[in-house]
Chains A and B, each alone.
Chain A
């Protein structure tokens, strides 16, 4: 028993940190409607400032603490709110989640690259008195850092509980999530309330970051992932509402993890993978089985005043432009094909092929996010399933590669259904989190196995052969990839135009109304998941065959996040968006690579701009640009027609021209 307690007590401070981050998540969610996955990144910034000032520059601890927690933390929150989230006040939860994801993906890399560079990592200084003070009670010991963490957490939870329940400010923060506009109508400056909420929650992030730093020997990205997932699990335990339950959830998780780590046998690969996956498994299980998780159906009563979403650029018609397009598009395709086949050096042809293959994977986002409106954070996992299935079948079981690829896509579709089936009950944010947990679980438990991804060693996939046609040569493989892409793209377009696409559009518009005309939303979403997973799996299999070998690192959870943000930024509703994302993914780093060294971080800066641009144009940069340029041409044509001397008795410009402009 005392043994158990000895294991359990060191878990408490960890649990408190989990709880602190979780409370921050709940607070941001309740006060801004954003499930701020970038919370960890914010914590990281303040931890970094704390290191740098107290550790490297030998500031006094209190000064470093004040600067990191009460200056840098809120400043970061303020900037986030002003630059991104204020444009998203009335946006859907999906859009907000993606924006936060963009920050999660882009920030740590940016900070590390811009700030620390190659500087050696220091052991972070402690918050409490140095040297650490040990307190003993009976036979249990706890040091001053740990006490500081526990005390701070309890203070924060009590303080926030009071703020939310018993103050006018807390009430406003709760109201601003429901409808910022209604709050405005009641004479409250909703903007200021929302910004304050961001600043407040950012102080929490900063505090968590600084307190966390001394607990780990050093703060690396793995720790942060575990921290974030554990915090998410604690927040889910509190149903994204209850602060006491969240606190309890965090502590139970922290203690449970420590105890489990001590008692689990050291053994085979599965157990080795199991230990770090405990929070992931727990999060997944919580999402599936924790009662009381309901679809967050916060609908703004003033949503009716929102302008309708802009029509797809394709629905704007201009005769002249269409005629031009009919000539230009085939010309472009022919030139592209000819250039790729005959002119491009092998290296660049390889890159083009890779971009096309990535476009196939990205089409899976067009289906699940663009059409079904569901956020999936495990598309890379589906791609991995496709790739590894193909590899195992082709290399170890002698199945022809092309058939193995199809099998890979089918297995991925099956996995997609298996993931979607239980998680669809929840939808929205919870579905996104469940797919996130699933991706992490597969990363740790399945992909390292020899029968799957074979860990970092990876597996090899030969190039396919079809009768006399050998796709080993890069040019032949390029054609194969292009064919697969063409088939996939047409499939996506047909499905979007067809019954399935319409059903999904209806469900996105109003799930209840769709049900009352006899549409089964569950089935429609499962179909979408299956199709999307199949496309990802197919793309993954192609990618594996293109590269020759793939390892579990090629498809880890991070890619799911990164790809999602990328595709959504370029445009998730159209095939062009997916293609642009594919080419951007391959060629932007390649081109930046040729720039002088100090531009090396440009990639991340671009990414940041992408996130901001996305906040303003959630339909995607490509779609936005396309619509704007078509509108320009249309307007230009009209102006030119107007300038022409009009024959006597001619009609003034049609009224529907004006409507067109209003819509724009």
Chain B
């Protein structure tokens, strides 16, 4: 069944057409890649999917519901999680606090009244869940470290953990490997594979690192100049002549 479907997304910034009639779809539990040269419109498209930007045309459906007009947090509640290209963490809080906040957000539990009655302490369940995810992303030693003290690689893992703990049906990852060394990228790819296989989380991955892409995704969309250039199974698409030209430049191809 189709989980996410974006149809005919167009976005202009002044005179620049960033997206022109982009359409993609993601099946349930599937890992899909979105690649393309810099400036192809990948991040813009991501932001349109999530509601950080409002497309000029087109519509986004998720689980069969049109979410085009919904605010970001409602889309998140429906089951879309994401990470950012430029890491966005809650400065001043520790790794465990990041996860706890996200876990509470998932439950949608706890309000002013229960806080006032002293019900704000983390429950045993919440602690276990947090510990689980900390282990999964491999940050077990750093749970109580303020996020400012982490390296970029670890910060990306915190973002991933924060998204995973909300149990999204679809995880949008915006260049998760940028700024990571090879070992860190591989570890990240490993975590992604595990969650996708175990929890059946669908993944939409925007990425430059083709090795990472090949490790994680089954199906690939190649974007160039704000439109889909090619789509299909990973290896097939990467072998395509047009793709090689757009991606690697004429001289190399």
Contact = CB atoms under 8 A, between A and B. Distances in A.
A531 interface: yes
Given A502-B97, A513-B84, A308 B92 contact: yes
Residue among A306, A309, A513, A514 facing the most chain B CB atoms (10 A cut-off): A513
B108 interface: yes
Contacts of A514: 90, 101
Contact of A506 (B50, B81, B101, B163): B101
A502 B100 contact: yes
B116 A491 contact: yes
Interface string A409-449: 00000000000000000000000000000000000000000
Nearest to A311: B146
A498 interface: yes
A509 B91 contact: yes
B149 interface: yes
Interface string B31-75: 000000000000000000010100000000000000000011100
Nearest to B118: A494
A264 to B, nearest CB: 42
Given A500-B111, A503-B101, A517 B81 contact: yes
Contact of B92 (A505, A516, A518, A531): A505
A590 interface: no
Given A501-B115, A518-B106, A513 B90 contact: yes
Given A494-B116, A517-B162, A499 B76 contact: no
Interface string B107-121: 011111011111111
Nearest to B90: A509
B112 A517 contact: no
Contacts of A495: 112, 115-116, 120
A476 interface: no
Contacts of A515: 71-73, 76
A222 interface: no
Interface residues of B, number: 44
Contacts of A502: 97, 100-101, 104, 120
B204 interface: no
B198 to A, nearest CB: 20
A623 to B, nearest CB: 14
Contacts of B102: 517
B110 A513 contact: no
Contacts of B149: 308
Contacts of B108: 518
27 contacts: A308-B148, A309-B92, A495-B115, A495-B116, A498-B110, A498-B118, A498-B120, A498-B121, A500-B112, A501-B120, A502-B104, A502-B120, A505-B90, A506-B90, A508-B92, A509-B90, A509-B91, A510-B90, A512-B72, A513-B84, A514-B101, A515-B71, A517-B106, A517-B166, A518-B108, A519-B101, A531-B112
Interface of B: 50, 52, 71-73, 76-77, 81-82, 84, 88-93, 97-98, 100-102, 104-106, 108-112, 114-121, 146, 148-149, 159, 162-163, 166
Interface of A: 306-309, 311, 491, 494-495, 497-503, 505-506, 508-510, 512-521, 527, 531
